[in-house]
């Protein structure tokens, strides 16, 4: 079975739509050879490897043999540097430009491994963007919140995929985490008994005190913290879950319903690295005021 990728796959609504379309066309194929023809691809945002990798992993779990063919040299260069192609028979090449946070797959029990990966690949690398201490801490904690969200809520059996890219000229650092879990819509349905559209489900999860937790440990803060940070930072937050697309940009949100679902959830954060906001609090909190 052969599938052709389009000329550009960016981390935006159209880019995600191409990937859910690929996932839908591939359907439930098993014990087959799947050729992903990338001959037309002239641009693929490297962080989108997390979502693409998740889809291809789902297909390989059905014992399909995945082959990526026709990759143009410039696209091959970046997908080799971030380690994506080493999952498909190529060797990883060194990242001479220092702009990639490598593509990697994690199990749900790998919280610490993920934390160390972020420290090693982002925090301890001199070629990564120079950001204020406050911003660097907020970015790091945001990606940890995203990973924790996937661990706690996704119920994935096939892992969590991540990848990042620094767009130096645009002062933008983009990081994507994808899981192959049940998605936000089904999670709300199972835990709260509320049925809603996939895009409305994402909105629900990012607002107020809404949470799908109902056990001994409270929850429901992670996505709200992300939303607040990205609004202050003037970045972009995109969430794809099931057939829903939700985007926060410039403080405004918009949603869209795809024709087909993504087989899990993708969270994509784009931060403005030239942000000089201190992220310090306006008023001092005393340790005695907490409880």
Q: Residues in the site for other proteins, rule: CB under 8 A?
A: 109, 111-112, 114-116, 119, 134, 137, 140-141, 144-145, 147-149, 151-152, 209, 211, 213-214, 216-222, 225, 279-281, 284-285, 287-291
- Provide, rounded to whole angstroms, the least separation between the CB of residue 51 and other proteins: 23
User: What is the spatial distance between Cα 54 and Cα 271, in angstroms, rounded to a whole number?
Assistant: 23
> Measured from the CB atom, is 62 or 111 closer to other proteins?
111
Note the Cα 214 to chain centre separation in Å. 25
In the complex, the smallest distance separating the C-beta of residue 187 from other proteins, rounded to whole angstroms, is: 15
The residue among 126 and 288 lying less far from other proteins, judged by its C-beta, is: 288
CB of 148 to other proteins, least distance (A): 4
What are the beta bridge partners of residue 165? 100, 174
State the nearest-atom distance from the C-beta of 105 to other proteins, in Å. 18
- Judged by CB, which is closer to other proteins: 167, or 279? 279
193's tokens: 């008994």
CB atoms within 10 A of CB 42: 12
Which two three-digit tokens encode residue 128? Answer: 């990564």
Closer Cβ to other proteins, 222 or 264, answer by number: 222
The residue (of 122 and 245) whose beta carbon lies closer to other proteins is 122
Least spacing, CB of residue 291 vs other proteins, in Å: 4
Nearer to other proteins, 6 or 134 (CB): 134
Exposure of 153 in the CB half-sphere (CA atoms within 13 A): 32
Report the distance separating Cα 21 and Cα 23, nearest Å. 5
Are 44 and 76 contacting, i.e. CB atoms less than 8 angstroms apart? Answer: no
Question: What does the block give as tokens for 109?
Answer: 């029990």
**DSSP E strand stretches across the chain:** 2-4, 8-9, 33-37, 43-44, 65-69, 100-106, 160-167, 172-179, 236-241, 244-249, 252-257, 265-272
Minimum CB distance to other proteins, residue 53 (Å): 22
């Amino acid at each position: 079975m052969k599938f052709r990728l389009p000329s550009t796959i960016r981390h935006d609504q159209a880019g995600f739509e191409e990937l859910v379309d690929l996932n839908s066309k591939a359907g439930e194929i098993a014990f087959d050879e799947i050729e992903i023809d990338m001959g037309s691809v002239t641009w693929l945002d490297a962080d989108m490897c997390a979502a693409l990798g998740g889809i291809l992993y789902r297909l390989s779990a059905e014992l399909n043999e995945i082959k990526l063919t026709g990759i143009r040299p410039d696209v091959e260069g970046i997908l080799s540097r971030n380690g994506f192609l080493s999952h498909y028979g190529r060797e990883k090449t060194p990242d001479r430009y220092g702009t990639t946070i490598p593509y990697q797959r994690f199990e749900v029990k790998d919280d610490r491994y993920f934390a160390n990966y972020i420290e090693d690949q982002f925090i301890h690398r001199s070629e990564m963007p120079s950001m204020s201490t406050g911003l660097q801490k907020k970015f790091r904690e945001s990606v940890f919140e995203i990973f924790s969200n996937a661990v706690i809520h996704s119920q994935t059996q096939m892992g969590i995929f991540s990848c990042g890219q620094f767009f130096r000229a645009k002062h933008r650092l983009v990081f994507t985490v994808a899981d192959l879990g049940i998605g936000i819509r089904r999670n709300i349905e199972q835990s709260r008994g509320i049925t809603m559209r996939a895009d409305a489900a994402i909105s629900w999860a990012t607002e107020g005190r809404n949470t799908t937790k109902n056990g001994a440990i409270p929850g429901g803060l992670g996505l709200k913290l992300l939303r607040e940070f990205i609004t202050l930072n003037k970045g972009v937050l995109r969430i794809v879950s099931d057939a829903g697309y939700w985007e926060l940009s410039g403080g405004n949100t918009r949603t869209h319903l795809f024709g087909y679902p993504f087989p899990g959830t993708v969270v994509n954060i784009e931060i403005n690295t030239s942000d000089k906001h201190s992220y310090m609090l306006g008023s001092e909190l005393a340790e005695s005021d907490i409880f």
